[in-house]
A and B are shown apart, each in its own frame.
Chain A
Amino acid sequence: MTLSDDILLSRPVESAELRRATPRWRLAGYAAMILAVLVVGLPVYWTLIAAFKESREIYSIPPSWLPLRPTFANFAAAWEAAPFGRYYLNSFITTFFGVAAEVTLAVLSAYALAFLRFPRKDLVFLLLLAALMVPVEITIVPNYLTIARLGWINSYAGIIVPGAAIAYGTFLLRQAFLVLPYEVIEAARVDGAGHMRTLLSVVIPIAQPALVTMGLLSLVAKWNDFLWPLIVTNTSDMRTLPIGIYWLRNSEGVINWGVVMAGSLFLIIPVMIVFLWVQRYIVDGIAAGAVKG
């Protein structure tokens, strides 16, 4: 069994070196673990309690570590202060179509690159990979002009389309497709399956773990995207959640941290629920990608 299999199956594989760890070393390990969890957890806890505190309590010195009189008022106020319902809708739409486009394009490209003949296929692959080298951040001005010319400023298409092409995911899936047993693909073709059927009923089911990881990475990236939606939207009703929370902080800010933290939880909680549910796919998929690549 290869290393990546171990990681994908996620059995805790202990490093050979530390199997004979000393008790002192183990104690240091627990201390490091607890410290790290505290460093990550405390800011989130601080956000959580602020969201349930009355404004008076937030601005008392010293601040309390537990809300004295827990209240949901901040959540109601945050929902009132900004059109969060609309932000959710916009984020859902742009994320759903963004991910669907990326996954579809990655699957089609990876299938062609892995299984079809084409003269100088390596050059085509290189052309795709080279795109990895261009950070989207440096393309913002020309892309804004292109989207403006298409009349897509402040529209879903304007948010989604420029980010729909995908290089990294294509690369990941191509790797996953290439290790599929060739006999299985060949058998399907000999049985008379066309390319579409081979892809849908043979390749995709076998390569499912890689596909799920790729889809989740794409999901996280689209849901959190900030710079591009900030540039390409200009009215409140087209903003996505990350832009929305930025505006809420700017308008409430120092005046009312409780409301802003409640608004932050509107973003953090759904992501955390999804993450805890599928974290194995994300974390292990990322780890496997790094070790293989």
Chain B
Amino acid sequence: MASIPQRAGSVTQRERREWLLFALLLAPNLLLFGVFTYWPLLYNAYLSVVRWDFLRPTKPFVGLANYASVFTDRQFWAIVLNTATFTVCSVGLTLLLGLALALLINQPLRYRNAARAVLFSPVVMSGAVVAVVWSYIFDPRYGLLDQLLGFVGLNSPDWLNDPRWAMLAVIIVYVWKNLGYAVVIYLAGLQGIPRELYDAARVDGAGPWARLRHVTLPGLSPVAFFLSVTSLLATFQSFDIIKVLTDGGPAGATTTLIFHLYELGFVAYNAGEAGVVAVVLFGIMLVLTLIQLRYLERRVSYG
């Protein structure tokens, strides 16, 4: 590679060698993605139209029968509702509480960076251990929450065994674990809003609330968007919290689509219906991604 090319032909040769090296360097990554990310998408689609229990040597084609049985199952629609409730509440609460906290903390306070680190620490803890710790906190007789509620004269509900409270318990744990992430991102966003905008607003006679509404919040919209996307993905990954805290129960009250997929596949051994749920989930991701791209396009053209 050291020689300086002198003829057009040798330039091409040098370029060819670069192509080869490029392909070699990317091959392992692309190969793994092919086998473990893209192939499963196709295979899920295939599984969704066959009947299979992971054991039988044949997988008879059943057309859309799996789709019919999943979509006519009343429990499935309860699960869709659970997923929507969990996603909207946990993402919404994380984003709103995180915003309020970030706005309040975003001033020259002593120990602010230490507080930020403490707030962030649950983000790096394993969801499984967080859920184990919280299953003790939710203990209706000996748990921390019962103790705290006792101070104000209330009795603790049986959080994890009462279908009316279990979803709230899962949401609380999710928000507890992810709030620090939102705060850190918001703080970074706040520091990126140019000072001149505030000065200009002040000159125009805008009070604190007007400045919040017309400068701070619009300035934060890109990071808020980023947060909503990443938090949405994080709700997918909160399988560990649900599995450990409630195991999808009681009576399916905390079963989300991801959890349902796991149960169909690895508890009920129904590969076909698991395939259907995987296809549905992929469809949801696709729609969300398209919305995201639309938004980014708009930001580019008006930004």
Cβ of B295 under 8 Å from chain A: no
Cβ of B22 under 8 Å from chain A: yes
Known A-B contacts A118-B18, A141-B274, A223-B126; the reply to A43 vs B134 at CB < 8 A is yes
Residues of A with C-beta under 8 A to B244: 246, 249
Tell me, in angstroms, the Cα distance from A196 to B269 when the chains sit together.
48
For window 6-23 of chain A, which residues contact chain B by CB distance below 8 Å?
A: 6-7, 10, 12-19, 21
For window 172-207 of chain B, which residues contact chain A by CB distance below 8 Å?
A: 176, 179-181, 183-185, 187-195, 198-199
Cβ of B251 under 8 Å from chain A: no
Residues of A with C-beta under 8 A to B13: none
Known A-B contacts A112-B21, A291-B192; the reply to A16 vs B240 at CB < 8 A is no
Whether the pair B105, A33 counts as a contact (CB closer than 8 A) is yes
Choose the segment among A24-32, A68-76, A201-209 that binds chain B (4+ C-beta atoms closer than 8 Å).
A24-32
Residues of A with C-beta under 8 A to B118: 37, 40-41
Residues of A with C-beta under 8 A to B189: 290-291
Cβ distance B234 to chain A, nearest Cβ, rounded Å: 10
For window 21-68 of chain A, which residues contact chain B by CB distance below 8 Å?
A: 21, 25-26, 28-33, 36-37, 39-44, 46-47, 50, 58-59, 61-63
Residue in chain B with minimal CB distance to A135:
B236
Tell me, in angstroms, the Cα distance from A275 to B209 when the chains sit together.
37
Chain B contact residues: helix, strand, loop or mixed? helix
Cβ distance B266 to chain A, nearest Cβ, rounded Å: 6
Whether the pair B262, A105 counts as a contact (CB closer than 8 A) is no
For window 23-50 of chain B, which residues contact chain A by CB distance below 8 Å?
A: 23, 25-26, 28-30, 32-33, 35-41, 43-44, 47
Interface bits B225-252 vs A (CB < 8 Å: 1, else 0): 0110010010011011001100000000
Q: Residues of B at under 8 Å CB distance from A?
A: 1-2, 15, 18-19, 21-23, 25-26, 28-30, 32-33, 35-41, 43-44, 47, 100-101, 104-109, 111-113, 115-122, 124-129, 132-137, 139, 141-142, 144, 147, 150, 176, 179-181, 183-185, 187-195, 198-199, 211, 215-216, 223, 226-227, 230, 233, 236-237, 239-240, 243-244, 258, 261-262, 265-266, 271, 274-275, 278, 281-282, 285-286, 289
19 contacts between A and B (CB under 8 A): A3-B192, A16-B198, A33-B104, A37-B119, A39-B176, A58-B142, A112-B22, A124-B26, A131-B33, A134-B282, A138-B285, A224-B127, A226-B239, A230-B243, A242-B128, A245-B126, A257-B139, A268-B129, A282-B124
- Given A16-B193, A293-B226, list of 4 further CB < 8 A pairs? A106-B29, A142-B40, A224-B126, A271-B124
Q: Which 6 A-B pairs have the closest CB atoms?
A: A16-B195, A165-B32, A287-B188, A142-B40, A224-B126, A226-B240
